[in-house]
């Protein structure tokens, strides 16, 4: 009897594997290394070998979902990020091992929002969006319980919306003033450095501070740190405003490493969102992500049941 | 045999009626007045009386689509704009006359983008978006051939995204710096007045100029008018950038009265979009709307066949 689902979250160094029941409960999880040699031909074989050894027999598995970093159009991985796959038909390749048609592939930011919507912070909502604030700023959008890919696989790439129109900082993407330049961990550090030079606000932080240090100092009232966090929160509140007027979700989830600073951060984002929100969307809910690093395996598994 | 569809575009002063065949060809169109007295109870009756008189018999009509101004959630008109309907179940009310289950209701901006996507500028594309630049700035978004309503009926309300973060003009919605303040006909006039006072750019325009006058003067090289049109185009290019990174459509349609200034305007919007577009979405197509005032009846009719 088909009573299990596998969710895989493939990264450049490790692959997270989650075994779920059909109710969406995580039964077991483990990790294996990502072997990126030889154009990545060993990755799926390693996954297959790993799950074949498990006591759950593959004939009892309903289907398999994958989260992969990089743009994906119609199930084809256009170009993996930190992975050597290009124009890679993962479903066709994995089918060779598994002989099961229920194989699904989605972008890693998209499976994160699906995971949070299936079993996490946005459980029970049909329309959601997620902003992932980490080394970069990513996002994903769910409409009527389906994630939006977009024509070029770039739906939800909100980290590259321009939010600073004048004198913006240079972004990794080559443009200037992107949300990522003021809201990612790197962006937060850069803003701190810039505001240290251009304002008289005091700070106890010395060199080699991290985004986490800046948030911790802000919580303790460090003036420069507070000003930086306020700016980052303003721009994330602004990103919430944009989402609320484009796809108008019930709920927006803030996740990623920077979001670990918690409700201190969410409250500021909510405040700035409320100050600019269009009247009809003021009820949009803004919450912290709940699933942490497991969001990917949850969301990958959800692809099988939400099909 | 069911071989016709009716599309209705209900406005505060008149109702546009379109009779279509199932291939989406407009066979005939006409208008009737909107009777907004007595909480709008006569509107549907007037529509019914008008189509009952037509030689096409109602038993040959497959279904009926309506475009209505105002937010609509799950088919209920929350609050009509320039119409006295509140929490109005149009489908239930119209069914009393027509005894046909295929009755569909959508927001007027949403039916416009559906019309252009069904038979107009975006024909053949599954993912599209429309920006309507007229007295206000509206919008609609189509993903996988379905229009997005959003949780509060506010999906595609891009006219109220803040685009000017400092010293923005006051918007009708009560906020400041909305796209509508720099891209609507009124916004364009206000920007002209403001820049007339704050710059030394010359202009031949005297008092009582319209947005059309400003565009006409810009085409003839009027310096102040050109600067205003450039700014409006920048912000609309920016709105295209936002759309390209949120739902990532194949094609963005620019419609509404201001768009009648034509390719002169579109070329400028395209230029500004290209300058800020994220690499993967640079191929996003930006075009003029084709259906003009008929977009609404086309899109309303399309609701019947796209169900």
Task: Work out the angle at residue A220's Cα, subtended by the Cα atoms of residues A217 and A224, and round it to the nearest 5 degrees.
Answer: 50
Q: From chain B, pick out residues whose CB is under 8 angstroms from the CB of A158.
A: 245-246
pTM greater than 0.90 (yes/no): yes
Q: From chain A, pick out residues whose CB is under 8 angstroms from the CB of B243.
A: 246
Considering only the beta carbons, identify the residue of A150, A160, A246 that sits closest to B127.
A150
Residue A271's CB is within 10 A of a number of other CB atoms, namely 13
Shortest distance between the Cα of A55 and any Cα of chain B, in A, equals 40
pLDDT values of chain B reduced to their tens digit, one per residue, 307 residues = 899 999 999 999 999 999 999 999 999 999 999 999 999 999 999 999 999 999 999 999 999 999 999 888 888 999 998 899 999 999 999 999 999 999 999 999 999 999 999 999 999 999 999 999 998 999 999 999 999 999 999 999 999 999 999 999 999 899 999 999 999 999 999 999 999 999 999 999 988 899 999 999 999 999 999 999 999 999 999 999 999 999 999 999 999 989 888 999 999 999 999 999 999 999 999 999 999 999 999 999 999 998 7
Considering only the beta carbons, identify the residue of A71, A151, A245 that sits closest to B161.
A245
Measured between alpha carbons, how far is A231 from A209 in angstroms, rounded to an integer? 18
Considering only the beta carbons, identify the residue of B149, B243, B278 that sits closest to A246.
B243
Q: Does A170 touch chain B (CB under 8 A)?
A: no
Give the count of Cβ contacts less than 8 A between chain A and B: 130
Instruction: Please report the ipTM that was assigned to this predicted complex.
Output: 0.93
CB-based contacts of A292, cutoff 8 Å, min separation 6: none
Cross-chain residue pair B173–A279, CB shorter than 8 Å = yes
Q: Does B175 touch chain A (CB under 8 A)?
A: yes
Q: Does A174 touch chain B (CB under 8 A)?
A: yes
Same fold, B4-115+294-305 and B124-290: yes
Measured between alpha carbons, how far is A172 from A175 in angstroms, rounded to an integer? 7
Q: Which CATH number applies to B124-290?
A: 3.30.420.40
**CATH number 3.40.50.2000 is the correct assignment for the domain at B4-115+294-305:** no
Cross-chain residue pair A151–B245, CB shorter than 8 Å = no
Q: From chain A, pick out residues whose CB is under 8 angstroms from the CB of B71.
A: 280
Measured between alpha carbons, how far is A297 from A8 in angstroms, rounded to an integer? 5
Shortest distance between the Cα of A156 and any Cα of chain B, in A, equals 5
Helices H / strands E in chain B, number of each: 9, 13
Considering only the beta carbons, identify the residue of B150, B154, B281 that sits closest to A152.
B281
Q: How is chain A split into domains, by residue range?
A: 4-115+294-305, 124-290
Among A266, A247, A160, A246, which Cα is nearest to B161's? A246
CB-based contacts of A119, cutoff 8 Å, min separation 6: A24, A291, A298, A302
Residue A295 near residue A289 (C-beta atoms within 8 A): yes
Q: From chain A, pick out residues whose CB is under 8 angstroms from the CB of B174.
A: 279
């Amino acid at each position: 009897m088909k009573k299990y689902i596998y969710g895989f979250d493939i990264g450049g160094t490790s692959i997270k594997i989650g075994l779920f029941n059909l109710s969406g409960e995580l039964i077991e999880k483990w990790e294996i290394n990502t072997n990126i040699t030889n154009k990545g031909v060993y990755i799926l074989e390693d996954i297959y070998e790993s799950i074949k050894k498990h006591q759950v027999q593959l004939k009892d598995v309903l289907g398999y979902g994958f989260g992969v970093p990089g743009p994906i159009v119609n199930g084809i991985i256009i170009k993996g990020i930190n992975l050597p796959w290009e124009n890679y038909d993962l479903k066709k390749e994995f089918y060779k091992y598994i002989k099961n048609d229920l194989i699904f592939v989605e972008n890693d930011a998209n499976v994160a929002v699906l995971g949070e919507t299936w079993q996490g912070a946005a459980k029970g909502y049909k329309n959601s969006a997620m902003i992932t604030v980490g080394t970069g700023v990513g996002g994903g959008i769910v409409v009527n319980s389906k994630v939006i890919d977009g024509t070029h696989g770039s739906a939800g790439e909100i980290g590259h919306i321009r939010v600073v129109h004048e004198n913006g900082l240079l972004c990794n993407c080559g443009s200037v003033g992107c949300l990522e330049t003021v809201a990612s961990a790197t962006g937060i550090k850069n803003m701190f450095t810039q505001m240290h030079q251009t304002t008289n606000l005091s700070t106890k932080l010395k060199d080699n501070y991290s985004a986490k240090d800046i948030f911790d100092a802000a919580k303790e009232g460090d003036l420069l740190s507070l000003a930086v966090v306020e700016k980052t929160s303003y721009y994330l509140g602004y990103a919430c405003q944009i989402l609320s007027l484009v796809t108008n979700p019930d709920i927006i989830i803030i996740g990623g490493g920077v979001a670990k600073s918690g409700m201190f951060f969410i409250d500021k984002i909510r405040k700035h969102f409320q100050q600019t929100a269009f009247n009809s969307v003021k009820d949009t809910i803004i919450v912290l992500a709940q699933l942490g690093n497991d969001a990917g395996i949850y969301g990958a598994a959800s692809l099988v049941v939400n099909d």
